[in-house]
Amino acid sequence: MPNVAQEPLLSATAIAKSFGGVQALRGVDFDVIPGEIHALLGQNGAGKSTLVKILNGVHPAGSYTGAVKLDGRPVSFASPADARSNGVGYVPQEIEVLEQLSVAENVFAGHTGLGDGFMVHQRRLEKRAGEIFADLGIGIDPRAYVASLTSAQRHLVMIARAIVMKPRVLMLDEPTASLSGAEVDALFSVLGRLKAQGVAMIYITHRLPEVLAICDRATVLRDGQVTVRIAREDFDAETFIFSMSGQRLQRLFPEHAAPIGAAAALEVRNLTVAGHSGAVHGAKDINLSVAAGEIVGLAGLLGSGRSEILHGIYGRVPAGGEIRVAGEPVAIGSPSDARAAGIALLTEDRKRDGLLFNLPVGANITIGNLSPLARHGVVRGGLERSSILAAMRALNVKASSPQASVSHLSGGNQQKLLFARVLMRAPKVLLLDEPTKGVDAATRHEIYRLVVDLAENGVGFVIVASELEELIGLCDRCLVVADGRIVDEFGRGEGGEDRVLRSVAAAQAERHVRASQVSP
């Protein structure tokens, strides 16, 4: 563990920042020392991301009050490029990639010549990127176009981009939000090596087990202020939760019993989803059923095909096979077909695939749901407003008004906004891809409670989540996906994380055996 008496490498003093009259930070003091992983914790909207964006130059000097020092000297970063040139790296929670460029070009964006003038050495880029990914323990083809990657894979590309710059300070905002256990372990191994090299790291996460596993100190923010600073020897999950929320959560996963004898809400037979270039492998011969009121989880590693199954059912990608909703066969060639059949989807990346930032909060709820609110093709304004307010109250969406900007909402409120949108159609089946990604512990509990309440009212769920604890705790059944196939199934109490990992390992071993048998 680093010596906390050591001089800070990067520090902030009395930082205050507001957005349109809303005070995001109120006199925050924070520092990180060489060779330390310092957790920055707090609920959505507490000010964590605002603070690191100040330390990284996203919010430039002059847009806030207070002082930032690097190596004890005052600094005034005008931009992220300015911060990078001073050895400060940042991996934001939001996906920031160049979709039409290759993975290797994204990793080395801004310095693709690799020291040889303006010439781009493509093969050298690909070789170096491949070495970095091997070091991270992930299998992404450096030659693939980023547009073909999943959200989780794009995030790994961003992490590689930050690490290749060899920063002295590295800030990571929810770096494991979409990663499964194996990818998280590989990332932790890399962070451990960076720590041994004296790199100072600021680690934002809502996953408290990660804080307990790798962090040396923790600072907790609430309502833009520091509530507590906690040394490693005093780490405790309950203390973290109470410091962040001001209240103690009771049971993390609400009790729920799978319905007995309920009719099928969703039946999928021989579903096949074509893969794309890169590490998106698709899915093959998927057979599953979900009873009305049942919560089914899809567990698997990154690239296993779990998300592709959801997208195939929903019509986001071409798929073959048979789908039935409430016993009736449905033809789904597009998301509109799926919605008409009573199927709703919350995608993994709410900012890219869900939210419309050019529309206010209210319009984000009613978009796609205007028909019941209209008469003779004209939306009834009073009915629309009352429907919006009712949805916001039901989901506890915290916004100043239906006219508020979506960009001013916390991640948890943005996620609840999307739930409000899909629930206006009263779906029979709800497909959730990483439903608690980037949300704090209290909001997670709200989402879990919402899922169970909807299930008890007959909605069938299929949930993809990288956190196996979430699937095991929330779902009535878990289906294990590996290489685009379902390789195991177990009910509540019949298995845990170890069973998922063993099933994946067995499927991978079987695949290697088959490959060796057909090799010349």
Tell me the pLDDT band of 229, cut-offs 50, 70 and 90.
very high
* 335-368 pLDDT, tens digit each: 999 999 999 999 887 877 788 888 888 888 888 8
Instruction: Report, as an integer, the average pLDDT of 393-398.
Output: 87
Query: In this structure, are residues 465 and 297 in contact, taking their beta carbons and an 8 Å threshold?
Result: yes
CA nearest neighbour of 461 among 261, 294, 268: 294
Instruction: Report, as an integer, the average pLDDT of 244-256.
Output: 69
Which position has the higher pLDDT, 452 or 236?
452
Cβ-based burial of 187 (10 A; exposed 0-12, middle 13-18, buried ≥19): buried
492-502 core/surface letters (b: 16 or more CB in 10 A; e: else): beebeeebbbe
CA distances from 136 to 306, 352, 381 (A): 22, 25, 52
* Helices of type H across 34-180: 48-56, 80-85, 103-107, 122-136, 151-164
| pLDDT score, position 259 | 85
> How far is the C-alpha of 283 from the C-alpha of 142, rounded, in Å?
22
Query: In this structure, are residues 261 and 290 in contact, taking their beta carbons and an 8 Å threshold?
Result: no
29: amino acid identity, one letter: D
> How far is the C-alpha of 339 from the C-alpha of 210, rounded, in Å?
37
Tokens read off for 4? 């906390």
Provide, rounded to the nearest whole percent, the portion of the chain with pLDDT above 70: 91
Tell me the pLDDT band of 466, cut-offs 50, 70 and 90.
confident
> How far is the C-alpha of 518 from the C-alpha of 520, rounded, in Å?
6
CA nearest neighbour of 300 among 447, 179, 208, 205: 179
Average pLDDT, the chain: 86
Tell me the pLDDT band of 518, cut-offs 50, 70 and 90.
low
| Cβ neighbours around 99 below 10 Å, total | 13
Query: In this structure, are residues 478 and 502 in contact, taking their beta carbons and an 8 Å threshold?
Result: no
75: left (phi over 0), alpha (psi -120 to 50) or beta: beta
- Cα–chain-centroid distance for residue 232? 26
> How far is the C-alpha of 60 from the C-alpha of 37, rounded, in Å?
24
Which position has the higher pLDDT, 128 or 38?
38
Cα-Cα-Cα-Cα dihedral of 400, 404, 406, 408, to 10°?
-60
Q: Is the pLDDT of residue 250 over 60?
A: no
Tell me the pLDDT band of 275, cut-offs 50, 70 and 90.
low
Tell me the pLDDT band of 207, cut-offs 50, 70 and 90.
confident
| pLDDT score, position 139 | 77
- Cα–chain-centroid distance for residue 466? 9
Q: Is the pLDDT of residue 4 over 70?
A: no
Per-residue DSSP letter, 323: E
Cβ-based burial of 188 (10 A; exposed 0-12, middle 13-18, buried ≥19): middle
* 13-55 pLDDT, tens digit each: 999 998 876 788 999 999 999 999 999 998 777 888 899 999 9
CA nearest neighbour of 51 among 87, 12, 19: 12
Number of H helices, E strands in the chain: 17, 22
Q: Tell me the chain's radius of gyration from C-alpha atoms.
A: 23
Tell me the pLDDT band of 280, cut-offs 50, 70 and 90.
very low
Helices 181-196/122-136 angle, 10° precision: 100
Q: Does the structural domain 10-245 have CATH classification 3.40.50.150?
A: no
Tell me the pLDDT band of 517, cut-offs 50, 70 and 90.
low
Helices 441-456/237-245 angle, 10° precision: 90
Tell me the pLDDT band of 242, cut-offs 50, 70 and 90.
confident
* 62-78 pLDDT, tens digit each: 999 999 999 999 999 99
Query: In this structure, are residues 247 and 307 in contact, taking their beta carbons and an 8 Å threshold?
Result: no
Q: Does the structural domain 264-342+427-518 have CATH classification 3.40.109.10?
A: no
> How far is the C-alpha of 421 from the C-alpha of 149, rounded, in Å?
26
> How far is the C-alpha of 161 from the C-alpha of 177, rounded, in Å?
18
| Cβ neighbours around 275 below 10 Å, total | 17
Tell me the pLDDT band of 478, cut-offs 50, 70 and 90.
very high
> How far is the C-alpha of 215 from the C-alpha of 47, rounded, in Å?
20
| DSSP assignment string, 192-210 | HHHHHTT-EEEEE-S-HHH
Domain extents in the chain:
10-245, 264-342+427-518
| pLDDT score, position 219 | 95
* 135-176 pLDDT, tens digit each: 777 778 888 888 888 777 888 888 888 888 889 999 998 888
> How far is the C-alpha of 261 from the C-alpha of 264, rounded, in Å?
9
Query: In this structure, are residues 170 and 201 in contact, taking their beta carbons and an 8 Å threshold?
Result: yes
Tell me the pLDDT band of 258, cut-offs 50, 70 and 90.
confident
44: amino acid identity, one letter: N
> How far is the C-alpha of 312 from the C-alpha of 271, rounded, in Å?
8
The 3-state DSSP composition of the chain as helix, strand, coil percent (nearest 5) reads: 35, 25, 40
Q: Is the pLDDT of residue 514 over 70?
A: no
> How far is the C-alpha of 293 from the C-alpha of 455, rounded, in Å?
4
Q: Is the pLDDT of residue 277 over 50?
A: no
